Chain A
Amino acid sequence: MRNILAIARRELHGYFSTPLAYVFIVIFLFLTGIFTFYIGAFYERNQADLDPFFRFHPWLYLFLIPAIAMRLWSEERKTGTIELLMTLPITVPEAVLGKFLAAWAFSGIALVLTFPMWITVNYLGAPDNTVIVAGYLGSFLMAGGFLAIGACISALTRSQVIAFVISVAVCFLFILSGFPLVLDFFQAWAPQALVDAIASISFLTHFESLQKGVIDLRDLIYYAVLISFWLYANVVVIEMKKAD
C-alpha cells in the first residue's frame, strides 16, 4: 500500500509539474461548457438537470482520457526510467496500481472542477441532486474504464502518440458497441442475446442508467470488472516485456 501511494503521489505530482495538467483541465472545462450550453441546449430545454452536461462525457473522454493515460508507461520506456522503477523493491502490480490511481485521481480533480455547472443548475431551478451525484459517479467510473484501457496500451509502446491513437480506437469500440447504429445492424440478423451482449460491453449502456440517477449494482460491477481486467492486462504486459 505504501509503495502504491508513493508511486501515485509521484505520478500525480508529475502531471502538475508539466503544462499537461493545466492544459487538460482548461480544455476539459471549456469543452464541457460548450457541449452543455450550445450543443446540449441547456437553457432551451428549460429543465433543471445536468443531462446535457453528462451526455457528452463519453465523447469528451474518448479523446481526453487517452491523453492523460498515454504517458503513464510510454514515457518510462522512452526515458529508460522503467529500469529504475522495476529495480526498486516494488512489485509490478504496485507500480501499475499506483500509476492508475494517480491518473484516476487527476481525472477526478478535473471532474470536481466542473462544480460551477452544478451550482448553476441549482441556482436556476430545483434539480434532483441525487441524479446529479449518480451522474458524477457514473462519469468518474467511466473515466476509470477509459484510463485502465489507456494505461495498458501505453505499456505496449514507447511512443506516446501511438499509445494515444490506439487507445482512442479501442475506447471508441467500447463506446460504439452501445450505439443504436451498431446495434440496429446486428438486430437485423443476430439473435437478441448477442445484441444484448454487444450492448452490455459498451460504456454508453452502463453510463446512461447512472446518468439517469439509477445506481444499479450491475453497472458498478461492470466498471469494476472492466478496470480490473485492463489493469491485469497491464501487469502482464509489463512483466512480459519490461525491457523492450
Chain B
Amino acid sequence: MTDTITPPAIEVRQLDKRFGAIHAVRNVSFSVRHGEVLGFLGPNGAGKSTTMKMIAGFLEPTSGTVLVNGHDVQLEPIKVKSSIGYLPEGAPTYGEMTVQRFLNFIAEIRGLDGDARQQRVDHVVRQIHLEGVLNQTIETLSKGFKRRVGVAQTLLHDPGVLIMDEPTDGLDPNQKFEVRSLIKEMAKEKAIVISTHILEEVDAVCSRAIIIAAGQLLFDGTPAELRARSADNDIDNAFRLLTTQLNPQPEAVAPA
C-alpha cells in the first residue's frame, strides 16, 4: 500500500476477550485498509464472530482497542457505528416487518431522510435484487432472501467499512456468485471484512486472509501465501495444517 498517511480503515490492537473461564479471543492484532477484502477464516468457535462483534461495537473487549478510521469503538461508539455496515451472524432482521418497511427503518436510523432515503433504499433494493419481495413480511421469505435483506441493510448508508459475518451462508450457488460479485465491486472504495467457512470464497473475493483458531491469530497474508503453506498448494490442506497443529486431535490419542 502506498497510502501511509491516512489511518487504516480498521485497526485491531491486541484484542482480548474472556467470557468467564473461556478465553475467546487472545491478543489478536491486524489492520485493514480501504480497497482490501479481508477473509476471516477459522474453525467453528474460533473467535471469528466474537472479534467481529467487538469491531462492530456490540461486545466490549476485555482488553485491547479497535480503531475504525482512527476512532476508538469504545470511546466514540456512535461515530464508529455510523461509518460501519454490519451483518451480524445469522443475519437477524425484524421478521414481522415488510422488506420495504425494514429498510426504511434502518435508513431512517442511519440518518437518511426524504428523497435521499428513497433513492438509497431503491438503489440497494436493485443492487441486491429485492424488488419482487418488497411488500412481503420478512418472516415469510426463504433463507436466501432473508440473508439478502440482511446484506441490503448494511449498504443503505454507503459505509466505508463493511463487516459481514458469513454473508453467503444459506445462499444457493447463483446467489453466492451475486453476493461475491457485489463484494468485489464494492471492494475498490471500501474496507471489507467477511467471515466464511467456504475456502473457495477466499480465493474468489479476498485480497487477504486471516486465520483464527482457539482465539489466536495463526495466519495473516494473501490467499496465495496461504495456499503456499501446504505442500500441494491447496488452500484446504493449508487451512487444515494451520488449524490442527495447534490443538492435537483427541482421536490421535492412543486408546488405553
Contacts and interface: CB of A to CB of B under 8 A. Distances in A.
B84 A13 contact: no
A88 B81 contact: yes
A88 B97 contact: no
B92 A84 contact: yes
Interface in B74-127: 78-79, 81-82, 84, 86, 88-90, 92-97, 101, 105-106, 108-111
B109 A17 contact: no
B81 A10 contact: no
Contacts of A10: 94, 97, 105
A46 interface: no
A3 B109 contact: yes
B90 A87 contact: no
B92 A86 contact: no
Given A83-B88, A83-B92, A243-B53, A88 B106 contact: yes
Contacts of A89: 78-79, 81-82, 109-111
Contacts of B96: 14, 17-18
Given A88-B110, A89-B109, A89-B110, A79 B95 contact: yes
Interface stretch (B56-64, B207-215, B242-250): B56-64
B187 to A, nearest CB: 22
Contact of B59 (A9, A79, A243): A243
B153 interface: yes
B90 A80 contact: yes
Given A242-B58, A243-B58, A90 B109 contact: yes
Interface string A8-22: 011001100110000
B230 interface: no
Contact of A81 (B59, B94, B108): B94
B137 interface: yes
Contact of B93 (A6, A13, A81, A86): A81
A181 B108 CA distance: 51
A14 B93 CA distance: 13
Q: Which of B108, B110, B137, B153 counts the most A-chain CB atoms under 10 A from its CB?
A: B108
Contacts of B84: 87
A120 interface: no
Contact of A6 (B79, B89, B92, B105): B105
A237 to B, nearest CB: 15
Q: Interface residues of B toward A: which range?
A: 20 to 34
Interface in A1-41: 2-3, 6-7, 9-10, 13-14, 17-18
Contact of A84 (B78, B82, B88, B101): B88
B153 A84 contact: yes
A197 B134 CA distance: 56
Nearest to A80: B92
B59 A6 contact: no
A183 B179 CA distance: 66
A83 B94 contact: no
A89 B110 CA distance: 7
A106 to B, nearest CB: 15
A91 interface: yes
Given A89-B81, A89-B110, A91-B78, A17 B88 contact: no
Contacts of B94: 10, 14, 79, 81
Going nearest first, the 8 A-B pairs with the smallest beta carbon separation are A80-B92, A83-B88, A89-B82, A89-B81, A87-B56, A81-B92, A6-B108, A87-B86
30 contacts: A3-B109, A6-B105, A6-B108, A10-B97, A13-B97, A13-B101, A14-B94, A14-B97, A17-B96, A17-B97, A17-B137, A79-B94, A79-B95, A80-B92, A83-B88, A83-B92, A84-B88, A84-B92, A84-B93, A86-B58, A87-B56, A87-B58, A87-B88, A88-B81, A88-B110, A89-B78, A89-B81, A89-B109, A89-B110, A91-B78
Interface of B: 53, 56-59, 78-79, 81-82, 84, 86, 88-90, 92-97, 101, 105-106, 108-111, 137, 153
Given A13-B97, A87-B86, 10 more contacts: A10-B105, A13-B101, A17-B96, A18-B96, A83-B58, A84-B92, A86-B58, A88-B110, A90-B78, A243-B59
